[in-house]
Amino acid sequence: MAEVFRSERVGGEGEAGTALVVQCSDPRYQPHFHDFLRRGLKLERYALLAVPGGAQFLTLVDFLPKFSWAGWRWVKFIGDIAPPSRVILIAHEDCLWYKHVRRGKPGELRAKQLDDLRRVEAGVRERFRDVAVELYFARLDGSSAAFESLG
Amino acid sequence: MVYQEGKLDPRVHADTVAVLCSEAHYQRHFQEFLRRGLRTEHCALMAVPGGAHCLTLADSFPRFAWAGWRWLEFLIDQTGAERVVLVAHEDCRWYLDRRFGLTSKQVRDRQSADLQRVRASIKERIPGKRVELYFGRLEGDRATFEVVA
C-alpha cells in the first residue's frame, strides 16, 4: 500500500437520514452486507455496530450481562450524537457465534436468532421515539447472498 | 480456518480481522480502504464506537474491555486470521466523550498511544499475529488513511 491511501468520493444520492446498522462480524458476509446496505437499502451513511452474533449482544442481560451493558451504552452514545430515524438489524444463517454461545440444532438457532432480533427491536423502540426498525435475515447462496425482510 | 469436531472448516477463513469505529461518515471509506487499500480478501469486522479504544479500558471501564477482548479473540480464533488491522480516525467523538476527560488537542496523541498499546496487548495475548495501525481523516467527500508507526 502507498504510504497514504485516498478513498474515492462518497456520493450523496442515497438516504439522507441517520441510520444505525447492527450486524455480525462474520467474514463470509461482509461484502454482502456492504452491498445490501449500499445498493439494496440505498444507505450512503450509517453508524455501524459489527460484533460476533450481531444484535444478539444486546439481549444478553441475564446470561452475559457485560456484553449487554457495553452494547446499550454504545447504542446510547450513537443515539446521543444523532438519534437514528432508522435502525437495521441483520442476522444470518450459520452464525458461528450462536453456535458457540447458544449451541443447538440449526432450526433452533434460527428461531433463537429471530426471537433475539424481536427483543432488540423492542429495546430500540423503548429508547428511541419514531424510529423505523427493520429486521433482515441473510443466507449465502453460492457467491451471492439473499436478504429476507422480517418486517 | 475453523476446527469443528476435529475438522477444518474452510468456509470461515479470514485473512484479516479489522477493528474500526462506528462513525457514520467513515463506513464507506473504511470499506474501500480495507478492500482496495489493504487488499483484504476475507475480512472479519468489529466496529464499535472508538474502535480499538475499548480494548484499553480494562482499568477504567472494564466491561467495555471484557466484551471487546472476547469478541476479538473469538474472531481471530475462529477465522485463523494472521493479520489484525486497527483503524482510528480524526475527530472521533467517542474519544471526546466527557467520561474520558480528554481535550480535542489531546485526542490525537491518545489515539496513537492506544493503538500501539492494543498492538502490544494483542502480541502478548495472541502471539504470532501481524498488527497494523492506521489513522483516517476526512477530506471533503474522500478520506485518507496513513500508517501509524
Backbone angles phi, psi at B148, to 5 degrees: -100, 120
Q: Tell the residue number behind the cell numbers 444478553, with chain if given.
A: A60
* Residue A58 near residue A104, CB atoms below 8 Å: no
Number of other residues whose CB lies within 10 A of the CB of residue A80? 10
Contacts of A49 in chain B (CB under 8 A): 22, 47-48
User: Which residue from B70, B75, B145 is facing A25, i.e. has the nearest CB?
Assistant: B75
pTM summary value: 0.91
For B116-134, b where at least 16 C-beta lie within 10 A, e where not — what string? eebbebbeeebeeeebbbb
pLDDT given for residue A60 in this prediction: 73
Q: Return the bridge partners of B3, or none.
A: B8
- For the residues B120-143, what does the mean pLDDT come to? 96
| pLDDT, chain B, mean | 90
Of B24, B42, B45, the CB nearest to A47: B24
Q: C-alpha cell of B37?
A: 487499500
Describe the crossing of helices B62-79 and B104-125 by its angle, rounded to 10 degrees. 50
pLDDT given at position A2: 66
Cell digits of residue B31: 470499506
Any domain includes B26:
yes
Residue B68: pLDDT over 70: yes
Confidence category of residue A139, pLDDT binned at 50, 70, 90: very high
Cell numbers for B33, please give them.
480502504
pLDDT tens readout for residues B86-116: 999 999 999 999 888 899 889 999 999 999 9
Q: What is the grid cell recorded at B100?
A: 474520558
> What CATH number does residue B10 fall under?
3.40.1050.10
DSSP label of B140 = T
For residue A142, the model assigns a pLDDT of 87
CB contact under 8 A, B43 and A30: yes
Query: Which chain B residues touch A22 with a CB distance below 8 Å?
Result: none
Q: Is residue B38 part of a domain?
A: yes
pLDDT per position as a tens digit, A61-94 = 666 778 888 999 999 999 999 999 999 999 999 9
Record: fold of A19-149:
Beta-carbonic Anhydrase; Chain A (3.40.1050)
Structural domain range at position B70 = 2-91+108-147
- Chain B contact probe: residue of A34, A48, A140 with most B CBs at under 10 A: A48
Rounded to the nearest 5 percent, the helix, strand and coil shares of chain A are 40, 25, 35
Q: What is the pLDDT of residue A17?
A: 59
Domain ranges (residues) in chain A: 19-149
Q: Is residue B101 part of a domain?
A: no
